[in-house]
Amino acid sequence: MLSIQSHVSLKPYNTFGIDAKARYWVEIESREDLQTLLQLSEFLTIPKLILGGGSNILLTRNFDGLVVKNSISGIDVLREDDLHVYVRAGAGENWHQFVQFCVRNNLAGLENLSLIPGTVGAAPMQNIGAYGVEVEQAFEELEALNMNTGEVRTFRHADCRFGYRESIFKHEAKGLYIITHVTFRLDKTPTFHTSYGAIQETLAEMGISHDDLTIQAISEAVVRIRRSKLPDPAQIGNAGSFFKNPEIPKEQFDQLKAQHPDMPGYPIGEAAVKVPAGWLIERCGWKGKRVGNTGVHAKQALVLVNHGGATGEEIKALAKNVQTSVAEQFGIRLTPEVNFIE
């Protein structure tokens, strides 16, 4: 039985801790719940916001529509072949807990994505990534329900149009589908990704040699790194990395490198270079800076924070000021990774 509530505070359901309100609110725990909801005529035409873990959104105002909290759970091993095991998870499953399920069962491919906040359903929408791995590398397919027709569609890899923190669900299919289940293709024999960030250094501190390397060790190293660098949303409101790392033409990077010899960059093919957004923001003097109830985290300049009582509009204003500073000093436009709900 669906319980549709009205005038519900969304503060507990977004990691920024913004106290916006939903005109209507409902939690779904199955595809059947969702299909029942779509048959209620009074909710067919009003705006809808699909909410997972609330870890990658910025609520800039009250939501004058229906917020649908996706709590579809369940993890099932579907099949396996000589190289892979295929695992299907409900979209409402906690992402980190799902990754830990894979690690415990020696299923490789997602261990570098440990401790990323959010849900399984949000992972392909955002094409989440960290430490040299993106979720699309282990993605097999997903099932999504069309919010207008109630039809269930299966999206294969090519259908999702994955890019850097991008998918079709952030563009043409935005707001049209709700993801119910995701299937991953996991490796029986791991390919270790340790060259990115501080993974090798952390493994050494843990006393893990190359010969001792396991996906369990990599997962633990990633968890240690993330906890040392990123604030816990339970302690201070944030949505993790607020901006994407910009990709710029190599010619532009070479010119900037001549002016700023310590500027880091990671080649993307021969024509482009990815520049850490956190480095740009820090160089503009924002790291650790507080503006009213908002600010830039003292340990990681890529993270904007709510010190308590901030509105979404205030955090949005801070983000725009950061973007302006970076554009003026480096000629680079930062793009938010966080989704603005306006």
Residue 274: pLDDT over 80: yes
**Mean pLDDT (whole number) for 179-204:** 94
DSSP symbol at 43: G
CATH number at residue 155: 3.30.465.10
- pLDDT score for 38: 86
The whole-angstrom separation of Cα 253 and Cα 250 is 5
Longest CA span, the chain:
64
Q: Left (φ > 0), alpha (ψ -120 to 50) or beta: where does 285 sit? A: left
Amino acid found at 335: T
> Could you confirm whether 165 is annotated as catalytic?
yes
Are 248 and 213 in a shared domain? no
What lies within 8 Å, CB to CB, of 121 at 6+ separation is: 52, 70, 72, 90, 91, 92, 142, 178, 179, 180, 182
Contact in structure between 30 and 91 (CB atoms under 8 Å): no
Q: Are residues 144 and 219 located together in one domain of the fold?
A: yes
Structure tokens, 182: 């995701």
pLDDT at 44: 80
Kindly name the residue from 114, 167, 219, 241 that is annotated as catalytic: 241
Residue 337 among the catalytic residues: yes
Task: For the full predicted model, state whether its pTM sits above 0.85.
Answer: yes
Which range marks the domain in which residue 278 is found? Answer: 237-341
What was the pLDDT predicted at 73? 97
Is the pLDDT reported for residue 98 higher than 80? yes
Which one, of 286, 329, 280, lies nearest residue 304 by Cα? 286
Considering the domain architecture, whether residues 196 and 125 belong to the same structural domain is answered as yes
Structure tokens given for 253 = 């990077």
- Residues 60, 89, single domain; the answer is no
3-state helix/strand/coil string of 226-270: HHHHCCCCCCCEEEEECECCCEEEHHHHHHHHHHCCCCCCEEECC
Among 229, 246, 262, residue at a domain's last position: 229
Q: Which of 13, 19, 1 minimizes the C-alpha distance to 306?
A: 19
What is the pLDDT, as a whole number, of residue 149? 87
CATH code: domain of residue 280: 3.90.78.10
Q: What share of the chain is helix, strand, coil (3-state, %, to 5)?
A: 30, 30, 40
Last residue of a domain, one of 182, 213, 229: 229
Query: Do 124 and 254 lie in a common domain?
Result: no
pLDDT at 258: 96
- Look at residue 155 in the predicted model and tell me its pLDDT: 98
| Gap between the Cα atoms of 218 and 221, Å rounded | 5
Q: What is the mean pLDDT of residues 151-173?
A: 94
pLDDT at 9: 97
What residue has token string 């710029």? 248
Q: Kindly tell me if the per-residue pLDDT of 2 is higher than 90.
A: no
pLDDT tens-digit map of 114-149:
999 999 999 999 999 999 999 999 999 999 999 888
Q: Is 9 annotated as catalytic?
A: no
| DSSP for residue 163 | B
pLDDT digits (tens, 9 = 90+) for 32-71: 999 899 888 888 889 999 999 999 999 999 999 999 999 9
pLDDT in tens, 207-260: 999 889 999 999 999 999 999 988 999 899 999 999 999 999 999 999 999 999
Residue 269 has pLDDT above 90, yes or no: no
pLDDT for 225: 94
Of the residues 229, 260, 275, the one at which a domain ends: 229
Beta bridge partners of residue 80, listed in sequence order: 85
Asked if residue 224 and residue 164 are part of one domain, the reply reads yes
Q: Supply the mean pLDDT for the chain.
A: 95
pLDDT of residue 45: 85
> Of 55, 88, 165, 220, which is the active-site residue?
165
Residues 255 and 162 occupy one common structural domain: no
Indicate if 136 and 168 belong to the same structural domain.
yes
Residue pair 231/238 in contact (Cβ under 8 Å)? The answer is yes
The predicted-structure confidence for 301-326, as pLDDT tens digits, reads as follows 999 999 999 999 999 999 999 999 99
Angle at 240 between CA 235 and CA 241, to 5 degrees: 150
Cα Rg, the chain, nearest whole Å: 21
Assess whether 331 and 270 both reside in one domain.
Answer: yes
Percentage above 90 pLDDT, the chain: 87
Question: How is residue 130 written in tokens?
Answer: 């960290």
**Are residues 81 and 212 both part of a single domain?**
yes
The per-residue pLDDT for 210 is 86
| Cα–Cα distance measured from residue 186 to residue 196, given in angstroms and rounded to the nearest whole number | 21
The DSSP letter of residue 120 is T
Place of tokens 């719940």: 33
Residues 195 and 139 in one domain: yes
Find the CATH number of the domain harbouring 47. 3.30.43.10
Pair 31, 152: CB distance under 8 Å: yes
Number of domains within the chain: 3
24: CB partners within 8 A, 6+ apart: 4, 5, 6, 8, 43, 46, 65, 66, 67
Q: Tell whether 199 and 99 lie within a shared domain.
A: yes
Distance CA 120, CA 182 (A): 7
Nearest to 117 by CA among 219, 298, 239: 239
Using alpha carbons, select from 14, 269, 65, 50 the residue that is nearest to residue 179. Answer: 50
